Amino acid sequence: MKIDRRSFLSFVIGGAAGTALTPLPWKLTDDLSIWSQNWPWTPVPEGGEVTYVNSTCTLCPGGCGITVRKVEERVVKIEGMAGHPVNDGGICPLGLAGPQLLYGPYRVRTPLKRVGQRGQHQWAPISWEAALDEVTGKLTELRTKNEPQGLACITGDGRGTVYHLLARFLTAYGTPNLISAASAADTQGQALGRLTGIEGPVGHDLENSTYVLSFGAGLLEGWGTPARVFKANSARVDHGGKLIQVEARLSNTAAKADKWLPITPGSEADLALGLAAVIVSESLYKTDLIDDQNNGWDAFKAMLAETYNPEKVSGRTGLDKSIIVALAREFAKAEKPLAVCGRGRGQTPGSLAEALAVASLNALVGSIGRAGGLWTVAPETDTGWPEVETDAVATTAMAKGRIDGAAAQSPDRLHRFAPAVIEAKPYPLQMLLVVEANPYYGLADSQSVKTAWEKIPYIVSMSSFMDETAQNADLVLPLHTYLERYEDVAGSAGFTRPYIGLVRPAAKPQCDSLHPGDVILKLAKALGDSVAAAFAWDDYDTCLEETLGDKWQVLKEQGYWVDENFQPPGSDGAFKTASGRLDFAAVAAKNEPVALQGEEGAFPLVLIPYDSMRLAGNAIESPPFLAKTVENTVLKGHESFVEINPKTAQKLGVGEGARAELATPRGKAVVRVHLYDGIRPDVVAIARNLGHTGNGQYKFLAGKGVNANTLIAPVEDPVSGLDAAWGIRAKISRI
Amino acid sequence: MKQEQGYKKFGMVIDLDKCTGCGACMVACMAENNVPFKQDETDKRLSITWMRVYKLTNGKPYPDTDICYLPRPCQHCEGHDGHSPCVSVCPATATDYDMATGIVSQIYTRCFGCRYCMAACPYHARYFNWWDPVWPDGMEKSLNPNVSVRTRGVVEKCSFCYHRYQLAREKAFVEERRDIEEGEYQTACTQACPSAAITFGDLNDPSHAVYELKKNPNAFRLLERLGTNTKIYYVSSREWVRRSGDNYLKHEPTGKVH
C-alpha cells in the first residue's frame, strides 16, 4: 500500500479525533493526577481518640492557660484555655505554634559534647551519665580549688520552683552568681515601691481602666501578657475607653490608639512630669492618698514649677503647649485613668526616672491601689524549705560578691556580665551554666558578649533547642520542653492578683531529655556532702508537690491557683511609708533619664529596635508558622528592613527596597530600606528578634536578617543600676 | 437552585477596630488545617496562608499617617444564586458552592491544578502547591487528622474549617439533636483571636451574633460592587478604612451598593 500525503494526513487527523473521542486521555490524566497525589512521602495523619490536657504556657512571662488537643499520643493543636483567669480562651500566635517547638528538628535529642571548635556545630552524642560525670568533675574541681564563685549561672526565668532549686543548689555549692534578666517590670516595681514603700511586680488593671495613657508601652506588641492585654483592649473599644500612645513610631498600639503623640524620643519622662505640673498647678490631683506634709511633696512641687512648666516641656517634647495642658486635664478628669510605661514588650528594664515620672502621674490621680489602676502584687517567694546549711568553702565564696555587682535584694544586672568577664573583675569566671536562656544571642552589644565567651574556659547549656548559646557551649544538656513536664509558673506578667499556673506534660518526652529540676537534683547528689544534704527530694515532681502543699490539689484539678482573697496594697488608703501615704521624695530627687550612646554629629538618627507579636522574643526562636507571618517589609529573603520616613530617605538618596549601611557606635549592618510614613524623620526602626544563627542545618529563621543586639549596647541607669538603653544614635548611608 | 428558607449561610463579621494585626488567626489556621511551610516564606506570592492579614495605610505623610490591619480568609462569595467567581470557572467541579451552608468547598482529589480559579478570585484567597509539602522529621506528628494533607499540583484555600462543622453535626446527631448550637461550630481563627475581633455564625439566623453585627452602619464588604456577594463583613469606624474596601473614584461616596 502506498502512503501518500492525503492518506497520511487522514490517518493522523483521524487518529487524533478518535483518541479525543475515547475516554483514554482523560482517564490517563485523571489516573496520573491521582497517582501523583498519592506519593508515599506525603504524610497521612492517623486518626484516633481525641483528648485534651489543660496546662500553662511558658513561652513568655504571661503564663496563659492552654488546652492541648491530642490525637492518641500526638499533640496536634494548642488553644487558649476557656475560663482561665489570665487569658480566658485567648492565645497569641507564638503560643499557637507551640507543637512545632515540641516536634521541631531544632531540638537537642541527646546530651552533646563539643568535638570541633566552639560554634562550629560539631558534636559527639554522649550518655547522660557521662555528661553529668563531666559537669560534676568540673564543679568538684572548682570547689577543691576553693573557688566555687568562679561558677556563674544565667537563667531565663526568675520564678517558680525550678528557679528556687537552682538558687538553692548554687548557694549550697558556694557561688552568689545566679543571674536572670531584668525587665521593665523590675523598673516599674522599683518606681512604684519608692512611692508606696511596697516593692514587687506591678499589676495593671487595664480591664477596668477608662483612660490609658501609654508612654511607649507596646500594649499590642507583646507588653505584659499579650492575650490578656489584647482582651482588655477590645473591652476598651466596646466601652468607649480611651488610649493615648506616646511613641516615636506608629506601632500597632499607636495605630489602635485614639491619639498618637510622636514626641521627641527620650522625652517621655519630661512629658509625664509636664502633665504632673499642670495637674498640680491646677489642683486637679486627689489629695487623700498623698503625703503633702513632708519635704518630698514640697520639693516635688517646686521641681515641677521650675523645670516642668508647659513651655519648657513643649520645647523638649516637641508637643504644642495647648496639647500638653489639654492632655493633663483630660487624664486627671477621667473616671479611672492609668498611665503605663515600659517600651515595646518591656524586655529591657528602661530608665527609672521615666518609670518614676509615670508612677507619680498615677499617684496624683489616685490610681494606685484602686480599681482600674495599678498596685504591687507580691509574689509567692516563700518555698517553705529549710535554710541551706553551707560548708566553709561555700560560706567564704558566697561572701566574695557577685560578678554583676548586684546587691542581695536588688534585681540582677545581666548587662554587666560580659564586661565583668572580660575584665575578670572582681574575679575571673571559670565556668558558665546557662539554664533555659539564650544570652549569646539575646544580650545587647553582641561583640563584647562574643569576647566574654572566649574568656570562659567551660560552658554548659541546659536547653531544649540548639540555640546560639547551646551551639557555642562545650556541653549541651537537653531538657524537656514545657509540653513534656510538670512545673509551676509563679505569677503572670502584669496580672492584678497572685497567680500560679501548673504546667502539665501533654506528650511523652520526644528526646533523651531530662527535667531541669531533675538535672539539678542529680548534680547535687553527685557532688555529695553539704550540697547533696541541701536536697531532700528524690525527683523534681515530688519536690513540686511538696512545695506547693495545699495548693497542689487545686492546681491539679483546675490547672491554676489565684488568690481570691487578695486585697490590693493601698486599697485601704494605707501604704508602707513613714506617714502611710504616698511619698514623693524619690520623684523629687534628681533623676535624669540616661542619654543615648553616640554623638549627634556623626550619628544624626536615632535607632529604635521595635517588638512585634509576629517574632518570638526571649530565648525562643520563632517556630516556622510564626516566621511565616512576618511581613515582607520586615524581612525578605535573608535581609532585614529598617523603617525610615520618606523625607529622611529622600535626603539620604535611598528609595524603597534600596540597600544601605546602618552604622551605630557599636556595630554596622547592611539592611534594606522600607519607607514608612508612620515614623519620625529623625528616627530609624529595626525589628528585634531576627538574625538568629543557631539551629544547625534548619534555617527556618536562622541566618535571616540582622540581630538588633549587634547594633545596640547597654547604658546603666545610675539609680536603679539596670540597663536603661532603649535605642542608640545611628547613621544610614547609601551603598 | 435558589437558596431555600431554613438553609444556613455561615459568615463572619470582623471588627477592624479591634484587630491588632498580631497574626494569631494566621497561625491558628495553619495549625488547624495542616498548611505547609518552607524555609523561606518571605516571597508572599508563594507563601500559602488561607488566612492572611493585610496592612492598610491611609497614604498620608507623617504625622497624619494611619494604619489598619485586615484579616482576609476566603470570602465565600455567593454571587447570585451561588455563582461565585471560582466555582463558575472550575472545569473539574473541584470547588463548589454549598447551598445548605453557603460554604465554597475545595476538593483536593478532584483538582488538577489548572489554576483558573486563582485567576478568577478577586481576593487572592487561593493558593497553588508548587511543591510537595515537606515536614521535617517528626514534625508530621502535629498534623491534624481531620484535614487532608495536600500534595503538589492542587489549589487550596480557606474552608471555614468545614471539618469542625461536620464534627459538630455528628455530635448533634449522636445526641439526637436536629441542629447545632452557635458555639459548637466556630472556625479556628475565630476561636484563637485574642482580641475577639472575629465573630462567626449563621448570617441567616437572627439568634446568632453575626446577624445583628452585619447591620452595623460601619460594616462593609470587599469589592462589593463586583457583585461577588461575599460572606465576610468588616466593621471599621474609620472612613478611610471603609473606603479602601473597594476601588472608589474620588467623587464617589463610600457605602453599601446593594
pLDDT level of residue A613 (50, 70, 90 thresholds)? very high
Residue A504 lies in a domain: no
Cβ separation of A105 and B21 shorter than 8 Å? Answer: no
As for how many domains chain B has, the answer is: 1
Run of H or E including A95: helix A93-96
The reply to whether A277 and A364 lie within a common domain is: yes
Cβ separation of A42 and B145 shorter than 8 Å? Answer: no
Classify residue B205 as exposed, middle or buried by CB count within 10 Å of its CB (0-12, 13-18, 19+): middle
How high is the pLDDT of residue A408?
72
- List pLDDT tens digits, range A429-477: 999 999 999 999 999 999 999 999 999 999 999 999 999 999 999 999 9
Nearest Cα residue in chain B from A252:
B20
The reply to whether A340 and A294 lie within a common domain is: yes
- List pLDDT tens digits, range B111-154: 989 999 999 999 999 999 999 999 998 999 999 999 999 998 89
Cα(A720)–Cα(A717) distance, integer angstroms: 6
The reply to whether A363 and A389 lie within a common domain is: no
For B139, list phi and psi in degrees, rounded to 5: -75, -15
Residue A284 lies in a domain: yes
Interface of B with A in 198-257 (CB under 8 A): none
Cβ separation of B144 and A77 shorter than 8 Å? Answer: yes
Residue A461 lies in a domain: yes
CATH number at residue A523: 3.40.50.740
β-bridge mates for residue B219, sequence order: B235
**DSSP labels for A594-609?**
PPPSS-TTT--EEEEE
Percent of chain A with pLDDT over 90: 84
- List pLDDT tens digits, range A325-336: 999 999 999 999
Cβ separation of A237 and B18 shorter than 8 Å? Answer: yes
As for how many domains chain A has, the answer is: 4
Contact in structure between A644 and A676 (CB atoms under 8 Å): yes
Residue B127 lies in a domain: no
Contact in structure between A672 and A659 (CB atoms under 8 Å): yes
How high is the pLDDT of residue B3?
47
Provide the shortest C-alpha distance from residue B65 to chain A (in Å): 5
The model carries a pTM of 0.94
pLDDT level of residue A620 (50, 70, 90 thresholds)? confident
pLDDT at A665 over 80: yes
Give Cα separations from A422 to A140, A435, B20 (angstroms): 24, 21, 43
Provide the shortest C-alpha distance from residue A648 to chain B (in Å): 11
Cβ separation of A45 and B18 shorter than 8 Å? Answer: no
Residue A137: which region, alpha, beta or left (left: phi > 0; alpha: psi -120 to 50)?
alpha
Residue A75 lies in a domain: no
Cα(A579)–Cα(A609) distance, integer angstroms: 42
* Residue B17 in contact with partner chain A when CB distance is under 8 A: yes
CATH number at residue A617: 2.40.40.20
How high is the pLDDT of residue A154?
97
pLDDT at A289 over 50: yes
How high is the pLDDT of residue B193?
97
How high is the pLDDT of residue A694?
80
Task: Identify the domain containing residue A368 by its residue range.
Answer: 206-372+578-588
Cα(A96)–Cα(A104) distance, integer angstroms: 14
Which chain A residues have a beta carbon less than 8 Å from that of B108?
37
Within A438-590, where are the H helices?
439-442, 446-455, 468-471, 516-527, 529-533, 540-548, 551-558, 585-588
Residue A439 lies in a domain: yes
Mean pLDDT, range A183-191, rounded to an integer = 94
The reply to whether A632 and A691 lie within a common domain is: yes
Cα(A375)–Cα(A198) distance, integer angstroms: 9
Cα(A623)–Cα(B99) distance, integer angstroms: 39
pLDDT at B5 over 50: yes
The reply to whether A613 and A645 lie within a common domain is: yes
Provide the shortest C-alpha distance from residue A339 to chain B (in Å): 21
Cβ separation of B149 and A614 shorter than 8 Å? Answer: no
Mean pLDDT estimate for chain A:
93
Mean pLDDT, range A219-233, rounded to an integer = 96
Cα(A91)–Cα(A511) distance, integer angstroms: 27
Contact in structure between A642 and A671 (CB atoms under 8 Å): yes
Residue B18 lies in a domain: yes
- List pLDDT tens digits, range A70-125: 999 999 999 999 999 999 999 999 999 999 999 999 999 999 999 999 988 899 99
Within A22-88, where are the H helices?
24-36
CATH number at residue B228: 3.30.70.20
pLDDT level of residue B26 (50, 70, 90 thresholds)? very high
Cβ separation of A45 and B192 shorter than 8 Å? Answer: no
Distance in angstroms between the alpha carbons of the first and the last residue of chain B: 21
Percent of chain B with pLDDT over 90: 88
Residue B256 lies in a domain: no
Q: Which residue has the higher pLDDT, B103 or A619?
A: B103
Q: Verify cis geometry, omega within 30 degrees of 0, for the bond prior to A23.
A: no
**Could you give the ipTM of this predicted complex?**
0.95
The dihedral over CA atoms of A79, A85, A86, A90, expressed in degrees to the nearest 10, equals 30
Mean pLDDT, range B224-252, rounded to an integer = 93
pLDDT level of residue A295 (50, 70, 90 thresholds)? confident
For residue A129, give the 3-state DSSP assignment.
helix
Which chain B residues have a beta carbon less than 8 Å from that of A237?
15, 17-18
Q: In this structure, which amino acid lies at residue A562?
A: V
How high is the pLDDT of residue B258?
47
Residue A572 lies in a domain: no
Residue A48 lies in a domain: no
CATH number at residue A272: 3.40.228.10
Length of chain B: 258
Give Cα separations from B216 to A132, A237, A619, B190, B220 (angstroms): 65, 15, 44, 19, 9
Lowest-pLDDT choice from A618-632, B166-180, B196-210: A618-632
The reply to whether A145 and A264 lie within a common domain is: no
- List pLDDT tens digits, range A502-554: 999 999 999 999 999 999 999 999 999 899 999 999 999 999 999 999 999 99
The reply to whether A432 and A536 lie within a common domain is: yes
The reply to whether A554 and A413 lie within a common domain is: yes
- List pLDDT tens digits, range A702-726: 889 999 999 999 999 998 999 999 9
Q: Which cell goes with A432?
A: 558558665
Run of H or E including B56: strand B52-57
Best CA proximity match to A330, nearest among A243, A255, A270: A243
Provide the shortest C-alpha distance from residue B137 to chain A (in Å): 7
The reply to whether A254 and A171 lie within a common domain is: no
Give Cα separations from A300 to A334, A369, A431, A439, A586 (angstroms): 23, 21, 48, 40, 9
Cα(A274)–Cα(A304) distance, integer angstroms: 7
Q: Which residue's entry shows cell 567551660?
A: A458
pLDDT at A729 over 60: yes
pLDDT level of residue A619 (50, 70, 90 thresholds)? confident
Residue B114 lies in a domain: no
Point out the residue among B20, B138, B145 whose CB comes nearest to the CB of A103: B138
- List pLDDT tens digits, range A638-658: 999 999 999 999 999 999 999
Within 13 Å, how many C-alpha atoms sit on residue A360's CB side?
A: 34
Residue B86 lies in a domain: no
Residue B220 lies in a domain: yes
Task: Identify the domain containing residue B175 by its residue range.
Answer: 10-80+96-105+159-243
Distance in angstroms between the alpha carbons of the first and the last residue of chain A: 76
Provide the shortest C-alpha distance from residue A695 to chain B (in Å): 13
The dihedral over CA atoms of A287, A292, A293, A296, expressed in degrees to the nearest 10, equals 160
Q: Which residue has the higher pLDDT, A296 or A51?
A: A51
Residue B140 lies in a domain: no
- List pLDDT tens digits, range A384-442: 899 999 999 999 999 999 999 888 777 899 999 999 999 998 999 999 999 999 999 99
Cβ separation of B145 and A48 shorter than 8 Å? Answer: yes
The reply to whether A411 and A524 lie within a common domain is: yes
Residue B143 lies in a domain: no
Provide the shortest C-alpha distance from residue B68 to chain A (in Å): 7
Q: Which cell goes with A681?
A: 524623620
Cβ separation of B22 and A103 shorter than 8 Å? Answer: no
Mean pLDDT estimate for chain B:
94
pLDDT at A735 over 50: yes
